[in-house]
Amino acid sequence: MGAPRTKEKNLWDLFITSPVAGPLATMIVIWVVFSLFVPHFASMRSVSGIINAATLTGMVTIGVTMLMISGEFDLSVGSLVAIGAYGFAFGTVFWHSPLLGIVLGLFIPAILGAINGLIFVGTGIPSFIVTLGTLYIYRGAVWLLSGGQLIQTLERPLVYQIFNGRLDVVNNLIPGANFRTSLLWLLGMTALFQYILTRTAYGNHVFAVGGNPLGALAQGVNVRRVKVINFIISGTLAGLTGILLFSQYRSVRVATGAGMELSAIAAAVVGGTLLTGGAGSIWGALLGALLISTLRTGVILMNIPFIPADNFEAVVGVTIIGAVILNNWLRSRG
Amino acid sequence: MKSRFILAVFVLSLLAIIAVACAPAATPTPTPVPAKPTEAKPTPTQAKEMAPTPTPKEEKPAAAAPEEKRLKIIMVQHALCAWDSFWCTVEQGAKDAAAAMNVDLTILGPDKFDLEKTAALIDQAVAANPDGLAVTVTDPKLFKDPIMRALDAGIPVVGYNAGSGPEKDGIPYLTYIGQDEYQGGYQGGKRLIAAGAKKGVCINHQVGHAGLDARCNGFIDAFKEAGLEAEVLAITNDPAESQTIIDDYYTAHPDVDAFLTLGPNGANPFYAFVEARGLKPGDILHGTFDLSPEIEAHIKDGLTLFGIDQQPYLQGFGSVMWLTLVKRYGIMPALPVTPTGPGFVTKENVGVKPQPDKPLKLMFVQHALCAWDSFWCVVEKGIDVAAKQLNVDYTVLGPDKFDLEKTAALIDQAVAAKPDGLAVTVTDPKLFKDPIMRAIEAGIPVVGYNAGSGPEKDGIPYLTYIGMDEYQGGYQGGKRMIAAGAKKGVCINHQVGHAGLDARCNGFIDAFKEAGLEAEVLAITNDPAESQTIIDDYYTAHPDVNAFLTLGPNGANPFYAFMEARGLKAGDVIHGTFDLSPEIVAHVEDGTTLFAIDQQPFLQGYLSVVTLTLLQRQNISPALPVTPTGPGFVDKSNIALVKALAGTYR
């Protein structure tokens, strides 16, 4: 461009080469446009609604993104969310033990995540196929666990308030806001895994096994171990999602979480994670989840006459593709 | 490679161990039951959700069975057996039901036709404070005030024999138990078409009479639906004139081959026309309303395909039965009109004498059992209670786990036992068609219950399907919300594309359209957080929407979260839902939720026994292809009873 190198230019370079550039840019554009043109969009109510709607998907997306960066998929997370929620429900509703609930809600999905990983490294079948299989197997396990029954309670013990209660400290300060403690869990986990990914040796290994597995192997990285650990992370975070879900809605059923696996992959991809592995970020994935949530809210609020209220998901789909095209364009320029 | 294979085997067996180890620890009865009770082909993820099975259950103190409580029921009618023999059959039905159901029955009527006197008798009945009151709504204007006094006193009221249903009569009694005139013409038309009719005529001896016109309208609609033509021919009170009118019409329209007469007044000149013209059975098709010796003779010789009976026995029997069900179990009639007719009398059953003491052995084949799926305990309870009341033997067969092949084999096993009646869950119409056909061919009366879509949609000519009517659930729900002040509605659908759920939304939207109001469908997902925000955003974008229908706990749960987050209180918006869950029960109690719609599984078992028994003993056939057990509305009026009986009767 021939312009003199300035400090701003350096910041721009830094921005455009960052994996969050695409989703952040899209997010800013959409927020500005929606705020200007969509009635009721620029309000604390819709902001907190967008965030609340993204918390459960967002939590699942963190684990899915870790796995995708290392080059693998986990399609079983939706089923694991239900298993986590049932485990937590059994502990807290039937045995009145928050500790047992948390242990069941996290450990069963973690073990099932490990099984995903072990089948994958043991057989060499692509993880897409392995977890497509376990998606159904684990949903079957939900049937076994639950006997097909809905579990619902009307009690509100402290443990539910901790995982997903009202964040009234904040809500009372901002009129119209309706934040929940699940937001803190999401931000905490995002920060934790972003740190692991970018500041630890393990994080380097994750990028390496996704981007260049042979090279990583040559460098002495235990590729299989990294992938199995990521499957466990993905399963555990799905379980945590189940705990958050049950803590707010105090209700879990056999179909709970079905379809979440695809929302998570969509969020990760919109957030700049490559389907082929080796690139991506947790912040980006979180932005991806928020972006999809924003679009959904925007489309509903726009109240477009020819798009009935039972068909707005199609508009979200179109926009997911648009966001990825923008990501790719930015990446090629960077 | 070998080590990998061993690892894979190890992993899979570990998986199996975990699954097995988790299951019994978690629930006492591990039940992989893909048995959504109202839908023919269940898919595992949606299946059990419609079953209203709130867990965890509270232990309830043991109490006397509701059947043991003696009830006092009064019937008030505009005529009596003492001076009008038609009413003897009605009274016999009522007395038989009262004897079977542990009820003290009093029948009141004037000693000659006198509506003022009848109205006074209603007030006399209310003063006796009965557990239930049945009234012939002969004059809705005159009877409105006394019936309202009964309702205000908290007495459940049904109409029977005369009336048009709570809506048309403008009196909010529970249901009208009597002939459905339109359905009589419609079902009659369908039978004539099935017999080969190409062009039809409805011979009306009193054009302008609402009931007779409705019969002709139903007849014509049946022909239109089949792409055929039909019209009305008016005749007079002069039989000679009428005979000539029919004859001239036939000369002008020689292609007309199907004739419907609306009673002996039309059938009589019709038979004269047939005789004068030299027509033989088979030359033309004839069906008629009502029975007379002449009509019965022509049903026997094949000239007349059927006589449509309003089944007065069932009007008396049904009045006592419904009031008992309402009072004891909080079970509500599904529709504003509970038809006792059309009851078709054909060559097969004409002239059959009632056998009230005939010993009966009934068999039930269902795709699940109480032993491993608690939903079915309620159905089986209904079978048991009815069988004891009517003194019939019964056997329930079902597979020991969900297995449709096995269930189909059990139908054949039941047929081999030659029962007097067979009830089957038509879970898979294709798979079950052959065994059910073998039962029908063996002369065994068959009804479907709980799962199925009716003989027409299932393509199997069984008598009737006894189960939930999904469309009516949405439609009646919509009407209740409009009556409560709904201006604009939304149907929150958690699984768009599911035939049963879509039918509920269609009914809801149609109810709004009929009232000149708007309603639409809002799709939500399996993620409750996402669903909550979708509902919240929708409400922001459509602040004029004040009526929300959810299709089960899956929609109600995020809806309640939305209300709480938004700070909405009971009365701010109108909410109705399908099914019961602890959360829904609590919200019906606190007034947030106007009603919850139940499919009433007890009634599915109970009515199967009643239908087959009345057919065998009283020659009474079910009026419609679908006998709805739901929508059963649970609201503030019966929530306490429903809650107390949850798990056994509800």
Q: Say which of B7, B14, B529 has its CB closest to residue A56.
A: B529
Is the pLDDT at B41 greater than 70, yes or no? no
Tell me the pLDDT band of A326, cut-offs 50, 70 and 90.
confident
| Structural domain contains residue B640 | no
Q: For residue B449, what are the β-bridge partners?
A: B466
Interface touch A296/B528, C-beta < 8 Å: no
User: Two tokens at A171?
Assistant: 């809500």
Which range among A1-15, A98-112, B78-92, B255-269 shows the weakest confidence by mean pLDDT?
A: A1-15
Running DSSP on this structure, what letter comes out for residue A94?
I
Instruction: Give yes or no for a contact between B90 and B313, defined as CB atoms under 8 angstroms apart.
Output: yes
Is the pLDDT at B146 greater than 50, yes or no? yes
How many angstroms away from the CA of B171 is the closest CA of chain A?
37
> Which residue would you say has higher pLDDT here, B618 or B44?
B618
Q: Which of B131, B173, B177, B167 is nearest to B149 (CA)?
A: B173
In this prediction, residue A317 carries a pLDDT of 83
Residues 6+ apart with CB under 8 A from A106: A84, A87, A236, A239, A240, A243
pLDDT by residue (tens digit) across B82-92?
988 889 999 99
The mean pLDDT value for B496-517 works out to: 93
Q: Which of A243, A240, A131, A244 is nearest to A193 (CA)?
A: A240
In this prediction, residue B54 carries a pLDDT of 42
Instruction: Give yes or no for a contact between B421 and B445, defined as CB atoms under 8 angstroms apart.
Output: yes
Whether chain B has a CB inside 8 Å of the CB on A305: the answer is: no
The whole-angstrom separation of Cα A292 and Cα A307 is: 18
Which range among A25-34, A59-68, B526-535 shows the weakest confidence by mean pLDDT?
A: A25-34
Task: Show residues of chain B in contact with A301, CB under 8 Å.
Answer: 537, 540-541
In this prediction, residue A4 carries a pLDDT of 46
Q: Is the peptide bond before B56 cis (omega within 30 degrees of 0)?
A: yes
Interface touch A249/B558, C-beta < 8 Å: yes
How many angstroms away from the CA of B325 is the closest CA of chain A?
27
B448, B513: one domain: no
The whole-angstrom separation of Cα A238 and Cα A241 is: 5
In this prediction, residue A177 carries a pLDDT of 86
| Structural domain contains residue B59 | no
The mean pLDDT value for B167-182 works out to: 94
Is the pLDDT at B40 greater than 70, yes or no? no
The whole-angstrom separation of Cα A74 and Cα A146 is: 23
| Structural domain contains residue B580 | yes
pLDDT by residue (tens digit) across A231-262?
999 999 999 999 999 999 999 988 899 889 99
Cβ neighbours of B245 (radius 10 Å): 18
Q: Which residues 542-581 in chain B show a CB within 8 A of chain A? A: 542, 553-554, 557-558, 561, 565, 581
Residues 6+ apart with CB under 8 A from B489: B478, B481, B508, B509, B512, B517, B518, B519, B520, B545, B547, B548, B549
Sign of CA dihedral B302, B305, B308, B314: positive
Number of structural domains found in chain B:
4
Q: Which residues 429-488 in chain B show a CB within 8 A of chain A? A: none
B321, B398: one domain: no
Whether chain A has a CB inside 8 Å of the CB on B532: the answer is: yes
B187, B302: one domain: yes
Q: Which of B423, B320, B309, B405 is nearest to B365 (CA)?
A: B423
Tell me the pLDDT band of A148, cut-offs 50, 70 and 90.
confident
Tell me the pLDDT band of B188, cut-offs 50, 70 and 90.
very high
B445, B373: one domain: yes
pLDDT by residue (tens digit) across B408-440?
999 999 999 999 999 999 999 999 999 999 999
The whole-angstrom separation of Cα B360 and Cα B614 is: 11
In this prediction, residue B210 carries a pLDDT of 85
pLDDT by residue (tens digit) across B554-604?
899 999 999 999 999 999 999 999 998 889 999 999 999 999 999 999 999
Q: Which residues 120-179 in chain B show a CB within 8 A of chain A? A: none
Interface test with B, best of A41, A57, A76, A150 (most B CBs within 10 A): A150
B495, B396: one domain: no
In this prediction, residue B202 carries a pLDDT of 96
In this prediction, residue A272 carries a pLDDT of 87
Say what angle helices A127-146 and B2-26 make with each other, to 10 degrees.
Answer: 20
B475, B577: one domain: yes
The whole-angstrom separation of Cα B284 and Cα B279 is: 8
Is the pLDDT at B36 greater than 60, yes or no? no
The mean pLDDT value for B108-119 works out to: 93
Interface touch B537/A254, C-beta < 8 Å: no
The alpha helices in chain A, defined as continuous H runs, are 7-17, 21-37, 44-69, 77-89, 98-123, 127-146, 158-164, 168-171, 182-199, 201-211, 213-218, 223-249, 260-270, 282-302, 312-333
In this prediction, residue B324 carries a pLDDT of 97
Is the pLDDT at B5 greater than 60, yes or no? no
B185, B305: one domain: yes
In percent, the amount of chain A with pLDDT more than 90 equals 58
Interface touch A297/B493, C-beta < 8 Å: no
B183-197: b or e for each residue (b if 16 or more CB lie within 10 Å)?
Answer: bbbbbbbbbbbeeeb
Predicted ipTM of the assembly: 0.83
How many angstroms away from the CA of B535 is the closest CA of chain A?
9
Interface test with A, best of B530, B531, B538, B593 (most A CBs within 10 A): B530
Mapping DSSP onto H, E and C, the string for A307-331 reads CCCCCHHHHHHHHHHHHHHHHHHHH
Interface touch A124/B565, C-beta < 8 Å: no
| Structural domain contains residue B238 | yes
Q: How far apart are the first and last CA of chain B?
A: 57
In this prediction, residue B48 carries a pLDDT of 39
In this prediction, residue B117 carries a pLDDT of 95
Running DSSP on this structure, what letter comes out for residue A211?
H
In this prediction, residue A159 carries a pLDDT of 93
In this prediction, residue B4 carries a pLDDT of 52
Whether chain B has a CB inside 8 Å of the CB on A143: the answer is: yes
Q: For position B74, which CATH number holds?
A: 3.40.50.2300
B424, B534: one domain: no
Is the pLDDT at A103 greater than 80, yes or no? yes
Is the pLDDT at B147 greater than 90, yes or no? yes
Task: Show residues of chain A in contact with B541, CB under 8 Å.
Answer: 39-40, 300-303
Whether chain A has a CB inside 8 Å of the CB on B210: the answer is: no
In this prediction, residue A254 carries a pLDDT of 86
Interface touch A52/B532, C-beta < 8 Å: yes
Running DSSP on this structure, what letter comes out for residue B332?
-
Domain boundaries, given as residue ranges, for chain A: 41-326
pLDDT by residue (tens digit) across B277-308?
899 998 999 999 998 888 999 999 999 999 99
B103, B160: one domain: yes
Cβ neighbours of B358 (radius 10 Å): 12
Mapping DSSP onto H, E and C, the string for B211-276 reads HHHHHHHHHHHHHHHCCCEEEEEECCCCHHHHHHHHHHHHHHCCCCCEEEECCHHHHHHHHHHHHH
Is the pLDDT at A60 greater than 60, yes or no? yes
Running DSSP on this structure, what letter comes out for residue B619?
-
Is the pLDDT at B25 greater than 80, yes or no? no
Which range among A8-17, A32-41, A235-244, B269-278 shows the weakest confidence by mean pLDDT?
A: A8-17
How many angstroms away from the CA of B550 is the closest CA of chain A?
14
In this prediction, residue A8 carries a pLDDT of 57
**Dmax (CA) of chain B:** 98
Residue type, B197: A
The mean pLDDT value for A267-293 works out to: 91
How many angstroms away from the CA of A175 is the closest CA of chain B?
12
| Structural domain contains residue B9 | no
User: Two tokens at A232?
Assistant: 């466990």
Interface test with A, best of B373, B402, B526, B583 (most A CBs within 10 A): B526
The alpha helices in B131-194, defined as continuous H runs, are 140-152, 166-169, 181-194
Which range among A319-328, B239-248, B520-529, B641-650 shows the weakest confidence by mean pLDDT?
A: A319-328
Q: Which of B554, B603, B604, B544 is nearest to B574 (CA)?
A: B544
Is the pLDDT at B256 greater than 80, yes or no? yes
Interface test with A, best of B505, B537, B548, B579 (most A CBs within 10 A): B537
| Structural domain contains residue B643 | no
Kind plus residue range of the DSSP H or E element containing B12: helix B2-26
The whole-angstrom separation of Cα B228 and Cα B194 is: 12
User: Two tokens at B443?
Assistant: 């002369």
Running DSSP on this structure, what letter comes out for residue A5?
P
Q: Say which of A40, A123, A257 has its CB closest to residue B526.
A: A257
Instruction: Give yes or no for a contact between A302 and A35, defined as CB atoms under 8 angstroms apart.
Output: no
Which range among A264-278, B22-36, B163-177 shows the weakest confidence by mean pLDDT?
A: B22-36
B213, B231: one domain: yes
In this prediction, residue A16 carries a pLDDT of 66
Host domain of residue B129:
68-174+312-343
Is the pLDDT at B623 greater than 60, yes or no? yes
Class (C level, CATH) for A41-326 = mainly alpha
Whether chain A has a CB inside 8 Å of the CB on B24: the answer is: no
B102, B128: one domain: yes
Instruction: Give yes or no for a contact between B188 and B200, defined as CB atoms under 8 angstroms apart.
Output: no
Tell me the pLDDT band of B35, cut-offs 50, 70 and 90.
very low
Mean pLDDT of all residues belonging to chain A: 89
Is the pLDDT at B16 greater than 60, yes or no? no
The mean pLDDT value for B480-505 works out to: 93
Mean pLDDT of all residues belonging to chain B: 89
Which range among A137-151, A235-249, B117-131, B294-308 shows the weakest confidence by mean pLDDT?
A: A137-151
Which range among A52-56, A159-163, B349-353, B538-542 shows the weakest confidence by mean pLDDT?
A: B349-353
Whether chain A has a CB inside 8 Å of the CB on B593: the answer is: no
Q: Which residues 370-429 in chain B show a CB within 8 A of chain A? A: 373
In this prediction, residue A334 carries a pLDDT of 56
pLDDT by residue (tens digit) across B296-339?
999 999 999 999 999 999 999 999 999 999 999 999 999 999 99
B281, B368: one domain: no
In percent, the amount of chain B with pLDDT more than 90 equals 74
Instruction: Give yes or no for a contact between B292 and B264, defined as CB atoms under 8 angstroms apart.
Output: yes
In this prediction, residue B52 carries a pLDDT of 43
Cβ neighbours of A66 (radius 10 Å): 29
Instruction: Give yes or no for a contact between B613 and B86, defined as CB atoms under 8 angstroms apart.
Output: no
Interface touch B48/A115, C-beta < 8 Å: no
Is the pLDDT at A204 greater than 50, yes or no? yes
Whether chain B has a CB inside 8 Å of the CB on A296: the answer is: yes
Whether chain B has a CB inside 8 Å of the CB on A301: the answer is: yes
Q: Which residues 2-31 in chain A show a CB within 8 A of chain B? A: none
Residue type, B209: H
Q: Which of B301, B303, B251, B302 is nearest to B277 (CA)?
A: B251
User: Two tokens at B644?
Assistant: 């107390």
